[in-house]
Structure 1
Amino acid sequence: MNTPYAKLSDLLRSMFNAAELRAFLRRLPSGTDLVDALPEGLGSALLAGEAVDTLQRRGRVDRELFVHLVGYAPDRYDEIADVARAWGVVPPPRPQSGVRAGTVPPQEHSSGHDELHREEGRNRGPVVSQELDSVDVAVLVALEEEFEQLRSLVPGMTPVPDPQFGGYYYCFDVGLTGPVYRCVARFIGNMGPDRAGLFADRLIARWHPRVVVMVGIAAGLHDDIHLGDVVVAEQVNAYLSDTKAVPQGEEGWSLLPRPRVFEGNHALLQEVANFRFVHAAAYGAWCNAGATDLEEQVDAAARKKLVSKGLIEVKPSLHRVHLASGPVVVAANGFAEWLRSHDSSIKAVEMEAAGLLEAAATRVEPSRALVIRGISDLGDERKSKLDAIGKGGLRRLAMRNATRMLLALLEAGVLPRGGGQS
């Protein structure tokens, strides 16, 4: 029977020998675990069948798998796309003409300084010279744990040292059709608006991006917002930026917030608002990938409990929100209520967006900016328990959903492009 299982098994068997298949699988997300689960000593035919069984059991027959396959063998795009459709997966975009097919696993393919690495389908990991001084998209991430998830979804990054301030920038390309987006990422290593503003200012000054994007996790503060959902900031409320301490009673005092408010970029927000309608297939693929990740990051018992309590849904949703931003880790319902008492439209809270937006806005030529956050907790006393589920599973899920949304926007070509060198 020409079943989806048989189609994928035949495709893998025709593309790889046994050693090549193991090497290819190892480069997938959680690839080492996949390969370790396969029996030793099998030939290519049997190994291909075992690989499909393992991928199916783990929910990894998804769009990412087919992006990897296209990146490995772009000349076989039509066959790969046919198999993807058989599994109910939206195929990745057709690669650019002239891209040569690989004959060895991607990490072994590059043989010279000018060769582009094709570790993943959407990313060709260019060799980046120190002379490159502009990009299309600059991505800022606060924490190392968040950057680990970004890097797992965007492998093939090229590290570029920062000789002035230390650390590294990480360059990568996104896009399989037409001109690619030239991108750079940097993680801060700490939380808070001051550090975010400092790093954002350096990032913009060094790379002159067409748009700068903050990607990370946040806490949801509204019943509309569920764990794993992704929020994009229409407005960022820097709630403690100009706060005044005022008398209360004879000896008491209270904080009188006079927040600075940063508006999101109208054109970018319109693209986000219309994304699920104009790019319905891409939005559906994003939802499905989030559902798969939920199963991987949260065990069945915990997942069932969260769903029954209405804290999470099987598939994530995308929201445009008013976002509170400040130097406080919010883990108390009373504080969340205090935030919303001053702006009832606030639906999420985090710690870096205000710094990034101020750095983007306070320039002779302001930079366009976008804030994309995945919801990892609910900003109340349950935070520590939610963070402990799956040893940070909800935090990883939130970051991966936010990262995938950024990649979906890039693959759809809706963000500004043209700042990087051609």
Structure 2
Amino acid sequence: MPETKPTVAVLTALSLEYDAVLDHLTDVEKLTHPRYGTRARRGGLPGTPWQVALVDMGEGTLTAATLTERVLSWLDPEAVLFVGVAGGLKDDIEIGDVVVATKVYAIHGGKQTPDGLLNRPEAWRASHRLEQAAKEALRGKAHFKPIAVGDVVLADSDSKLAQGIRASFNDAVAIEMESSGVAHAVHLAGEAGALIIRGISDKANADKSRADAGGSQPLAAANAARAAVAVLHELEPKPTAPQPRDSDLREGPFRSSTDAPTYGGDHLDFRGSTLPGPFTAKSVGQPPHDDGQ
């Protein structure tokens, strides 16, 4: 039987992001969820030990959270990468740059009071294992910084939203609409790690439409996809747990390299066995021995 390669899920929100990743895969097969009809493509990534399950989820945090959970339970990936485009929030982050999120902020939590909005954000940190692989693979080639996530396309750097982000999430260097859903679903699942990789396609200002029309999105998506591939070349699968021996599967406290303890009438043979604690032998169905004293 051929060895099954470990799986990593790569999720995208836009078709152009999906296509940018698909270009790197070989021997691609189509998958359909048997109950919900969710589609995926699974293929090899040359030069790595991984098979990649690629899913185009669509836009928005709620969709991202729902479909991430579905992918986790359906395809059982060892890691989840969310790959796509984002708007830049800092002057030193240029169109085409790649940002690897060290932290994901959900920016829309808060309490509105007569004195203004009191922010109540949530945040998720990148998987340490995946972040370490990314730093090794992309050292000097990507920005490792937090990103902001909300259910809105930001195209006005002077808006109240932009001002609020600068005031309350000042270390965020990019903004997009899905990663908090992905990060939260992976966090709740508790096993696979998540890493967010974004290419900057605009500056989240009034020039967004002009940048998009100039081809910035395909450029940013291609750069993010190449960064994801570089990370997967660096990332190693988790060690496989050794298969238990037949003797380890026996019920009870006895573990033997050969056989379970045997009963020989008036004694038990424990040779080759390991006992977890003190042991007391008692006769069953026999009167106590009287030695005459």
Whether TM exceeds 0.5 here: the answer is yes
How many angstroms apart in 2 are the aligned matches of 1:141 and 1:172? 16
How many angstroms apart in 2 are the aligned matches of 1:361 and 1:202? 14
Cα displacement (A) at 1:336: 2.4
Structure 1 or 2: more helix by fraction: 1
Deviations 1:267-326 (A, max 9, x none): 32222223356xxxxx8xxxxxxxxxxxxxxxxxxxxxxxxxxxxxxxxx4110110011
SS at match of 1:171: strand
2:89–2:173 CA contact under 8 A, matched in 1? yes
| Structure 2 counterpart of 1:154, one-letter code | L
1:331 paired residue among 146, 150, 155:
155
Distance change in 2, residues 1:351/1:234 (3 Å): same
SS at match of 2:173: strand
Matching residue of 1:405 = 227
Stretches of structure 1 that go unaligned for 5 or more consecutive residues are 1-113, 117-131, 249-253, 278-282, 284-316
Within 5 A, what are the aligned runs for 1:201-220? 201-220=69-88
Cα displacement (A) at 1:143: 1.5
Within 5 A, what are the aligned runs for 1:253-268? 254-268=116-130
Cα displacement (A) at 1:173: 1.2
Q: Does 1:356 align with 2:227?
A: no
Q: Does 1:187 align with 2:56?
A: yes
Within 5 A, what are the aligned runs for 1:31-70? none
SS at match of 1:175: coil
How many angstroms apart in 1 are the aligned matches of 2:12 and 2:238? 21
How many angstroms apart in 1 are the aligned matches of 2:114 and 2:221? 41
SS at match of 2:34: coil
How many angstroms apart in 2 are the aligned matches of 1:221 and 1:155? 36
| Structure 2 counterpart of 1:380, one-letter code | N
1:235–1:261 CA contact under 8 A, matched in 2? yes
Superposition TM-score, scaled by structure 1 size: 0.53
2:33–2:74 CA contact under 8 A, matched in 1? no
Q: Does 1:416 align with 2:241?
A: no
Matching residue of 2:191 = 366
| Structure 1 counterpart of 2:54, one-letter code | A
| Structure 2 counterpart of 1:209, one-letter code | P
| Structure 1 counterpart of 2:36, one-letter code | F
Q: Does 1:167 align with 2:38?
A: yes
Distance change in 2, residues 1:231/1:333 (3 Å): same
2:211 paired residue among 382, 386, 389:
386
Q: Does 1:245 align with 2:66?
A: no
Cα displacement (A) at 1:139: 0.8
Matching residue of 1:270 = 132
Distance change in 2, residues 1:405/1:418 (3 Å): farther
**Which has the higher Rg, Structure 1 or Structure 2?**
2
How many angstroms apart in 2 are the aligned matches of 1:187 and 1:405? 18
| Structure 1 counterpart of 2:210, one-letter code | K
Number of equivalenced pairs: 238
How many angstroms apart in 2 are the aligned matches of 1:153 and 1:362? 30
SS at match of 1:355: helix
Instruction: For CA contacts below 8 A with separation 6 or more, give which structure has more relative contact order.
Output: 2
Matching residue of 2:264 = none
| Structure 2 counterpart of 1:266, one-letter code | H
- Percent identity reads 32
How many angstroms apart in 2 are the aligned matches of 1:347 and 1:235? 11
Distance change in 2, residues 1:135/1:197 (3 Å): farther
Deviations 1:340-379 (A, max 9, x none): 210211111111110001000013x332110001000011
2:138–2:231 CA contact under 8 A, matched in 1? no
Distance change in 2, residues 1:224/1:385 (3 Å): same
Matching residue of 1:376 = 201
1:409–1:415 CA contact under 8 A, matched in 2? no
Matching residue of 1:56 = none
Distance change in 2, residues 1:223/1:415 (3 Å): farther
| Structure 1 counterpart of 2:56, one-letter code | F
Matching residue of 2:277 = none
Structure 1 or 2: more strand by fraction: 2
Matching residue of 2:285 = none
Stretches of structure 2 that go unaligned for 5 or more consecutive residues are 241-293
How many angstroms apart in 2 are the aligned matches of 1:367 and 1:187? 19
How many angstroms apart in 2 are the aligned matches of 1:369 and 1:415? 15
1:229 paired residue among 97, 103, 108:
97
How many angstroms apart in 1 are the aligned matches of 2:201 and 2:237? 28
| Structure 1 counterpart of 2:145, one-letter code | V
1:210–1:418 CA contact under 8 A, matched in 2? no
Q: Does 1:146 align with 2:17?
A: yes
